[in-house]
Amino acid sequence: MVVKGELVSKDTIKPSSPTPDHLRNFKISLLDQLAPPSFYVPILLFYSAPDVTAFGINFKTISNKLKASLSTILTLYYPFCGRLKGNSSVECNDEGVLFVEYKFSTELSNILKSPQLHEINELFPFDPYNPPAEHNENMAIQLNEFRCGGIALGVCFSHKIADGSTAASFLNAWASTSKGQGNNIVAPAQLEEATQLFPPRNIEMDMTRGLVGHKNLVTKRLVFYESDISRLKQKLGCFNFNPTRVEAVTALIWKSSLEAAKATSGEQKCPASIMVHAVNIRSRMAPTLSKHSIGNLWQPAVSSLVEVSGEIRLHDLAEIVRKTIRKVDGDYISKLQGAEFFKVINSLESWVMAAEKGIPCHGFSSWIKFEFYEADFGWGKPTYVRTIGVPIKNVVILMATKDGDGIEAWVTLTTRDMLEFERNPQLLEFSSLDFN
């Protein structure tokens, strides 16, 4: 199904009051400098027609409320409506945020059941992983109306100033403003906090170098319900090892991906690989940072080269996942903040260099603790929240199901590997697959 909408309007939303002169030059942090240079963080919030109509709100009212509340909240998040200057700062010039509206002649249910999941891009103002050159906004929004009365809010945040946690905090602050809950709005933590902790350096590094642009990629969804995860953890819970749900799901997807690559290569053993997991460092700082701290407060935890000569043991991979994630600890963060930061950067470069040499890198990012499902703008909480696949092979984004107990995994593989991956018997044993 080809999803095409009709452009209704295109606006630029500016903050309701100008940014003071002394705040107009916003220095980004070292971690922001290391973020992917042209990527946006994409998130889609769906609100069903019954929920919207239950509040007696029409689309025009929704649009006006969103624009007015966005203008108000941007006074607190003023870098979001500025423009990047090189790789070191944001000019907070109040140029504004792109806000477009589209109308679709299809039902929302058809969108959610679309067999061509990549076509969901039509619900964003542009391709978040390949934006046109004319788009230099730090944030862009598309409000979508469907024939049934349901709506979808597609938001893109520049990865140079925001990660998944930042996106969730902003959306909830915006939602509280829209709902008129002024006293409940949680302002971002001190905006310069990340820059003070991780001062910018004279550095240029692209951690996606050599990874983007692979052809014949496909993204599909797996759902691990609470009962699936419990059974999987029970299977792994031996030898005094009790994995978290993220460790367990990561290990199973990694194992299934390796087995798929082995099957398509025709080799007798699985290829050597590296596992990379994005780790939110807000809670690993001393003292800990607020979940409302903005910026790229995460680090990639990189495993050693993993070579398997015989059978791939799920338990072994789960232990590697745990060991790798736990590398990003207080000592690691201290080195990143201090004079040894080049050692940390060099270790991060190792997995980029490995990818360039053809060694598969399996990347994971967990968004399961980000409160996207709390974003109530005045017509109820989202019916469904999702993102889109990153155009890099072997990359997985983990998101919470609406009840918070399950996990959705958005898995991007080559088309050939996906054919093997989606019929892996162990994967099918512990997950429900949406491979239409």
At residue 133, what is the residue type?
A
CA distance 268 to 265: 9
Dihedral angle over CA of 178, 72, 386, 135, nearest 10:
150
Q: Which two tokens stand for residue 108?
A: 């929302």
**Which of 288, 285, 299 is closest to 331 using CA atoms?**
285
Residue-by-residue DSSP string for 22-57: GGSEEEPPHHHHHS-SS-EEEEEEEE-HHHHHHTT-
61-79 as b/e: b if 16+ CB within 10 A: ebbebbbebbbbbbbbbbb
CA distance 286 to 284: 7
Residue-by-residue DSSP string for 86-129: TTTEEE-----EEEEEEE-SS-HHHHHT-S-GGGGGGGSSS-TT
**Which of 196, 163, 197 is closest to 336 using CA atoms?**
197
Answer whether 278's CB lies under 8 Å from 298's CB: yes
At residue 118, what is the residue type?
H
For the chain, give the longest Cα–Cα distance: 65
CA distance 41 to 50: 29
Give the residue numbers marked as catalytic. Answer: 159, 376
Answer whether 77's CB lies under 8 Å from 175's CB: no
Dihedral angle over CA of 2, 416, 398, 434, nearest 10:
50
CA distance 162 to 39: 11
At residue 128, what is the residue type?
P
